[in-house]
Structure 1
Amino acid sequence: MASVIGYLEIELHIPHAHSLKEKRSVVKRVVERLKGKFNVSVSEIGKQDSWQEAVIGVVTLGTSKKIVDATLEKVVSFVEELVPGLILDYRKEVF
């Protein structure tokens, strides 16, 4: 049976961050919560030097496209609930 890989890239806007330290605390909280709740691989992958923007990448594996896609959609919903208005945009691929 072949594995299905899902990749999600989330662009975040953190308007209340006034330093890289403040931004990183928000990103770290999001990353750790996602890892714990969904058992996915998560990392900040872009805009590391920007105070109010970040890009995080999420990867998960599964046995069906439907399950992987549903997990990625739940990740997006969870981030939006965690800090409303945080998501600027997201891109998802399942292969």
Structure 2
Amino acid sequence: MFKVIYKITWPNGKIYVGSDLTDTIRYFGSPNCRLIEADFPTRESRRDITIRREILWESETATNAEVLKLEHETIVSLRANDPTVGYNRNPRFRAKQA
């Protein structure tokens, strides 16, 4: 069984990065629904939505701990936890001080 790190891209370009330890095709993560709803507030904006799920990394041998560590690193490297970029809220985004 493969373990995967994936990226979901929403129509507004924002992303969500997650991991799936069972490689279930129907799993699309657990982003905060209120955040997504706020970006698609009208019925019209919700009428026809296409999201993309990309597998960024996969392994048949990685431990769960290794997958979760890589998920964390991927969230940070893609800035998926930056509210202007993505829907991940953990780890907490910290803008770099100049």
TM-score normalised over the length of structure 2: 0.34
Larger radius of gyration between Structure 1 and Structure 2:
2
Higher strand share: 1
